[in-house]
Amino acid sequence: DAPEEMEPRPPVVTIMGHVDHGKTSLLDALRSANVVSGEAGGITQHIGAYQVTSPLGGKITFIDTPGHAAFTAMRARGAKVTDIVVLVVAADDGVMPQTIEAINHARAAKVPLIVAINKIDKPDAKPERVRSELLQYEVQVESMGGETLEVEVSAKAHTNLDKLLELISLQAELLDLKANPDRAAEGTVIEAKLDRGRGPVATVLVERGTLHVGDIVVAGAEMGRVRALISDKGSQLGSAEPSMPVEVLGFNGTPEAGDRLAVVDNEARAREITDYRKNQKREKAAARSAT
Ligand code: GTP
Ligand code: NA
Ligand code: MG
């Protein structure tokens, strides 16, 4: 076989950190600072993942699910969708249990960390203390002589947001992220729900290949034909490339967060796969209730 044609793809970034350290605020700030006025949907759209444009050019994909039950489920099932973890530590609170959990998660997944020391607008902010606390967990930031990229930010005052995006782009360049867009799509379901008007809606991160309207897809025990693809900005797309988050409409049932999505050749094949998986699920459930 000829080797696959690999092309650069945007990094996929997850923001992690302790409760109330500002993960959601930072994601919202990054997105609103980046919204081009007049863009369909603007910041009112709330899908679990979105893309912004880096000041250094190119896109960055953020996943907005840490701490979520769905993300925990994805982690438990070994889904590895993240290229880079941004570790948010509040400068007034310092390293806390979920900070340590995030460090361990990134390490186990062999994903590089970027430290964002948040809330530096606060009068009681102690960024130096955060740096030395991180050392105890073997996270050595650049200003402490280490190699971990770091930036002091304020999600509230919108301080250093471009700097954070630049660091992500720099880290991504080192990772040399590539995917083949010219093949049947594969991806991961980030979240999924049953929408009263639209039926099952799955937010999917495309990892390889290009997903097209009309494709026959399977995800976990569910199948369907892609009826519509909707971007994070709320616009209808004909297709979605690697590292793009997209809402997929057209599933017959609602898949689960963490399910792998794949495009198959025809409906008969899709039914074969999903019938088998539905059976497996039933057998597992029966085995559980028998013990
Ligand atoms: P969970 O999702 O509950 O774990 O919290 P989170 O990490 O998403 O934190 P969130 O963004 O909800 O922020 C928690 C609180 O901190 C809110 O009251 C925010 O307004 C506040 N906050 C977030 N970032 C900043 C900041 O840069 N400066 C200040 N002063 N407050 C901030
Ligand atoms: Na919060
Ligand atoms: Mg939050």
Counting ligand 1 atoms within 8 A of each CB, the residue from 24, 25, 64, 85 with the most, and so the one to mutate, is 25
Q: Is the CB of 23 under 6 A from ligand 1?
A: yes
Quickly state the pLDDT bin for 49 (edges 50, 70, 90).
confident
Distance between CA atoms of residues 54 and 174, nearest Å: 16
Enumerate residues 6+ apart whose C-beta is below 8 A from 194.
Answer: 200, 201, 254
Distance between CA atoms of residues 47 and 62, nearest Å: 11
Chain-centre distance for alpha carbon 246: 11
Residue 195: pLDDT over 90: yes
pLDDT value for 75? 62
Q: Is the CB of 67 under 6 A from ligand 1?
A: yes
ipTM over 0.95: yes
Q: Is the CB of 25 under 6 A from ligand 1?
A: yes
Question: What is the residue with the minimal CA distance to atom 29 of ligand 1?
Answer: 119
Question: What is the residue with the minimal CA distance to atom 21 of ligand 1?
Answer: 22
What is the pTM assigned to this prediction? 0.90
Enumerate residues 6+ apart whose C-beta is below 8 A from 36.
Answer: none
Two structure tokens written together for 286:
């029966």
* Ion ligand 3, residues whose Cβ is below 5 A away: 23-24
Burial of 276 per CB tally in 10 Å (0-12, 13-18, 19+): exposed
The sign of the torsion formed by the CA atoms of 68, 99, 150, 9 equals negative
The sign of the torsion formed by the CA atoms of 249, 254, 258, 261 equals negative
Q: Is the CB of 119 under 6 A from ligand 1?
A: yes
